[in-house]
Homo-oligomer: A and B are copies of this chain.
């Protein structure tokens, strides 16, 4: 694999996108980043870690609410929600500059779109499989079709707001794969095969 290869994973809620990202990073022996970003961000930015975590959860999970509550301009002209985004964006850029890695979520595909060796994947799964996985997730209070659709809508609103792009638009990804049909391991095989072909061109 070429130096500074960046892999980003966007995913439907409950589609095991996180597992795909982790297995990719493991197999390639490169770092994997998702919520860990928050901890890093909190430390670097001087935000209280607790406040940061709370804000981040709100910003992603009930974005419209957080725009209303934290959307007014703060000290340096940016609302708290925007400060959170900007801080995460800067951290994502710094991490990507260090070498090859895998990002799950956090608009990393958009933030790093100018990287020469970036590969973006979208992971989906049939609703019945997503419900199974969401049942084990302590962050989902009640795993119903409606809850998962709502969580995806919130992710989508957050992404669309900060990137001006449409979340889940096939044209923006190198490949979109169904982890429910293929399984995590086969999805990882296909992603690695894709990058291999793309880098040989």
CB distance from A139 to the nearest CB of B (A): 21
Choose one: B170, B175, B178, B182; the contact of A169 (CB below 8 Å): B170
Q: Report if A170-B181 is in contact (Cβ < 8 Å); known contacts: A186-B197, A190-B190, A197-B186.
A: no
> Interface code A151-186, partner B: CB below 8 Å = 1, 0 otherwise?
000000000000000001111011111100110001
CB distance from A105 to the nearest CB of B (A): 15
Assembly of this chain: how many copies? 2
CB distance from A195 to the nearest CB of B (A): 9
Q: Which residue of B lies closest to A123 (CB)?
A: B170
**How many residues belonging to A are interface residues under a CB distance threshold of 8 Å?**
21
Are B182 and A197 in contact, CB atoms less than 8 angstroms apart?
A: yes
CB distance from A187 to the nearest CB of B (A): 10
Most buried by B among A171, A174, A177: A171
In the assembled complex, A194 has its CB within 8 A of some CB on chain B: yes
CB distance from A82 to the nearest CB of B (A): 27
- Residues of B within 8 Å of A175, CB to CB, are 175-178
In the assembled complex, A124 has its CB within 8 A of some CB on chain B: yes
Most buried by B among A170, A176, A194: A170
Residues of A that sit less than 8 Å from B by CB:
12, 122, 124, 168-171, 173-178, 181-182, 186, 190, 194, 197-198, 201
